[in-house]
Amino acid sequence: TATPLACSPRQWAEIPLLARTHGQPASPTRMGKELMVFAHRLKAQMELLDAVPHCAKFGGATGNMNAHRVAYGDRDWISFANALVEGMGLQRYQVTTQIEHYDNMAALFDACRRVNVILIDLCRDIWTYISQGLFKQKTKAGEIGSSAMPHKVNPIDFENAEGNFGLANAIFGHLSEKLPISRLQRDLTDSTVTRNIGIPFGHTMVSFDALLKGLNKLKIDEVSIRADVNSHWEVTAEAIQTILRREAVDGAYELLKEETRGEVVTEQSIASFVNKLEGHATIKLSAGVIAELRAITPSNYTGFFEPGPEVEAWVSSKMSKKTAGGMEKAVAECRKGLVGCFDY
């Protein structure tokens, strides 16, 4: 089953959604666009993740090939080392101490953290939409939503995903901060830390599984979404004042502020305000402009939304493969090594 992020954003492109900034009603948006925000963000960060080079060190005890030179000084050890490492699909660090200095590995961990942060943001937004009644969750026979309140269908998958993403990121953060630091030519602090590299990837995979499970349970409640946006006519104030400014009406912001700020704004009160403008003694607006103002509603004041074929294609290729079977395959690949384990 394709997840909402894998579906064409046009599927929900025409569903208006009341935006909330600072928790307060704001200029309406569209559900398809809000989900596409996450696809755009993930695409950018996955490209950065894919661009991190995978490196290796081959340079002797302290990075100078001392023993190599003293034993076979006539050999071109630099060329040999480069060819050997590059033959394994890696890049060779040309100047090192005793150890690979982990800078690019730290970049990998940081890139994974950024991906996880985006997905935490997604978890919290979907959790909030569920709490607002804009999404419902499919139920499973015999499933217990709450041990005390049998009516509940808790968004536990998104909560589990968020918790595991957070734990993974705490460890990723320590790895990226600790591993590039080693006293002088080498100390042993990296050894104990590198034994835990698999742990944050494990928690990340658990999060992926929980998040995908939650996304596949979602059922959009278009009736509730439209009722929510249509109950907040105050959000049309921005549209009205913008048109008034376009028509060079002095004090357009103040006119709307007096009418809407802190007040219960309804369709009727907005219509009354437009009627006042139509018969205003000093503000002269054409019949066409008055018609424009009357045509504005919370549901149609949603701006532009065009995701573009490039992002749609990327979402389809990356996200729609993340089924349960795909996750199992990804876990199996991760056991073989870190390279490419997110390319599913």
DSSP character string of 241-290: HHHHHHTT-TTHHHHHHHHHTTS---HHHHHHHHHHHHT-SS----HHHH
First-to-last C-alpha distance (Å) of the chain: 15
Of 131, 146, 191, 272, which residue is the catalytic one? 146
- CB atoms near residue 93 (< 10 Å): 20
Of 22, 147, 151, 286, which residue is the catalytic one? 22
C-alpha R_g of the chain: 28
Tokens representing residue 256 in the block:
């709307």
22 is catalytic: yes
Residue carrying the six token digits 């030179």 = 69
Residue carrying the six token digits 């034993």 = 71
Tokens representing residue 281 in the block:
């003694």
- Bridge-based pairing of strands 91-92 and 16-21 is unpaired
The catalytic residue positions are 22, 146
